[in-house]
Amino acid sequence: MSIDLKTIKHISKLSRISVDEKKAEKLAGDLNSIFDFIEKLNELKTDNVEPLTSVAETTLKLRSDEVKSKNLRDQVIKNSPKENEDYFVVPKVIE
Amino acid sequence: MSDITKQSLSELVENIKGKKLSSSEVAKAFVERSEKSKELNAYITEDYANALNKAKKFDEKPNLDLKLPGIPMAVKDLFCTRDLRTTAGSKILNNFVPTYESTVTQNIWNEGAILMGKLNCDEFAMGSSNETSFFGNVQNPIDKNLVPGGSSGGSSSAVAAQLTPITIGTDTGGSIRQPASFTGTVGLKPTYGSCSRYGIVAFASSLDQAGPMAQNVKDCALLQEVISTYDEKDSTSIDFKRNEYSKELTKDIKGKKIGIPKEYRVDGMPKEIEDLWKKGIEYAKDCGAEIIDISLPHTNYALPTYYIVAPAEASSNLARYDGVKYGFRAEGENLIDMYEKTRSEGFGAEVQRRIMIGTYVLSSGYYDAYYLKAQKVRKLIKNDFDDAYKKVDAILTPSTPSSAFKIGEKTNDPVSMYLNDIFTVPVNLAGLPGISIPAGHDAKGYPLGLQIIGKAFDEQNILNIAYAMEEKINFQNNIHDWWIK
CATH architecture, domain defined by B4-263+269-296+383-473? Alpha-Beta Complex (3.90)
The alpha-helical segments, DSSP class H, found in A5-89 are 5-15, 21-38, 73-77
| Span B111-126, pLDDT tens digits | 999 999 999 999 999 9
pLDDT at A57 over 80: no
Are the beta carbons of A52 and B327 separated by less than 8 Å?
no
Partner residue opposite B380 with nearest CB, options A12, A37, A49:
A49
Are the beta carbons of A46 and B347 separated by less than 8 Å?
no
B107 or A69, greater pLDDT = B107
Chain B contact set for A53 (CB, 8 A) = 206, 375
pLDDT at A62 over 90: no
Distance from CA of A29 to the nearest CA of B (A): 10
Partner residue opposite B355 with nearest CB, options A17, A54, A82:
A17
Sheet holding B43-46, edge to edge: B43-46, B114-119, B72-76
Are the beta carbons of B100 and A75 separated by less than 8 Å?
yes
Q: Which residues of B are catalytic?
A: 76, 151, 175
Residues of chain B predicted below pLDDT 70: 1-2
Q: What is the DSSP letter of B29?
A: H
DSSP E strand stretches across A41-95: 83-84, 87-88
Residue B210 identity (one-letter amino acid) = A
Closest residue in chain A to residue B94, using alpha carbons only: A79
B447 or A93, greater pLDDT = B447
The answer to whether the CB of B262 falls within 8 A of the CB of B293 is: yes
Partner residue opposite B376 with nearest CB, options A34, A49, A55:
A49
Cα(B450)–Cα(B273) distance, rounded to whole angstroms? 9
pLDDT of residue A1: 59
pLDDT of residue B19: 97
The answer to whether the CB of B464 falls within 8 A of the CB of B250 is: yes
The answer to whether the CB of B327 falls within 8 A of the CB of B98 is: no
Are the beta carbons of A40 and B304 separated by less than 8 Å?
yes
Instruction: List B residues 272-301 in contact with A (Cβ-Cβ < 8 A).
Output: 298, 300-301
- How many residues comprise chain A? 95
* ipTM rounded to 2 decimals: 0.94
pLDDT of residue B132: 97
Are the beta carbons of B378 and A37 separated by less than 8 Å?
no
Partner residue opposite B359 with nearest CB, options A15, A56, A91:
A15
pLDDT at A83 over 80: no
Are the beta carbons of A41 and B305 separated by less than 8 Å?
yes
Cα(B340)–Cα(A14) distance, rounded to whole angstroms? 10
Q: Does B235 touch chain A (CB under 8 A)?
A: yes
